[in-house]
Amino acid sequence: MQQHHLGILIGGSSHVGKSTLARSLAVSLGRELISTDKLGRHPGRPWPTLRPQVAEYYSRLSDDTVHWFLKVHHENMWPYICQIIENQRRLLKPFVVEGSALRPEYMTKLDPNLVRTVFLYAEDDFLRARMMKEAGYKDATQSAALIIEKFIERSIRDKREMLEAARDAKLQCVDVAYPEALEALAKELADAYSVAK
């Protein structure tokens, strides 16, 4: 069934495939792609290069503080994200927004007639293995490995919190550990929003 939401929002924690899905949809549907990762600065992942300020951030702050900073960063970004969505609405420009700053508690405040929201997630072990592989954890120095572990645990903690909020809000949640589930979502969205030729 053809849908008419101007925006598709793809939320989820780090390394669940938000960017890949969003890029694919933006290309196939001819929509503008917006990534929240490009809208604000945050220490982020400690690889492929471990910058000194990132190493200091993860090594000196407690787990609670690192997670708190992430949530404050997302909270501070939200008005800017809303402004971008409003600009797209005024210009009637279809768009796809992806990023971990699209927290469920914020996405539910948006007009459901304007945007379609999706939340991607995976179980802890799957995410941990995916991040360790991408980070080159097994070849990392001891000090770099500790920082990678801290980033991974922060990401998993954030995923758990956001997944609970997404389920409470009855958002569509898709487990990316199952490729067929992600493929089905991509097809569902592409079919629902494709412009008739």
Q: 19 is written with which tokens?
A: 């960017």
User: Can you give the pLDDT at residue 95?
Assistant: 98
Q: 115 is written with which tokens?
A: 């945007």
| b/e burial code for range 1-24 (CB count within 10 A of at least 16 → b) | eeeebbbbbbbbbbbbbbeebbeb
pLDDT tens digits for range 21-55: 999 999 999 999 999 988 887 788 888 888 899 99
Is 15's pLDDT higher than 60?
A: yes
User: Can you give the pLDDT at residue 43?
Assistant: 82
pTM of the model: 0.93
Alpha carbons within 13 angstroms on the beta-carbon side of residue 137 total 16
Chain CA centroid to CA 186, Å: 16
Is 196's pLDDT higher than 90?
A: no
Is 150's pLDDT higher than 60?
A: yes
Contact 187, 28 (CB under 8 A): no
Is 149's pLDDT higher than 50?
A: yes
Say what angle helices 179-193 and 18-29 make with each other, to 10 degrees. Answer: 30
Please state, in angstroms and rounded to a whole number, the distance separating the CA atoms of residues 197 and 192: 14
For the residues of 87-99, what is the DSSP string, one character each? HHHHHT--EEEE-
pLDDT tens digits for range 99-133: 999 999 999 999 999 999 999 999 999 999 999 99
Is 197's pLDDT higher than 50?
A: no
The better pLDDT of the pair 28, 194 is held by: 28
Q: 9 is written with which tokens?
A: 């929002």
Q: Phi and psi (nearest 5°) for 98? A: -135, 150
Give the N- to C-terminal CA distance of the chain in Å, as an integer. Answer: 15
Q: What percent of the chain has pLDDT over 70?
A: 97
Please state, in angstroms and rounded to a whole number, the distance separating the CA atoms of residues 65 and 150: 12
User: Can you give the pLDDT at residue 159?
Assistant: 97
> Which residue segments constitute the domains of the chain, with CATH numbers given?
7-193 (3.40.50.300)
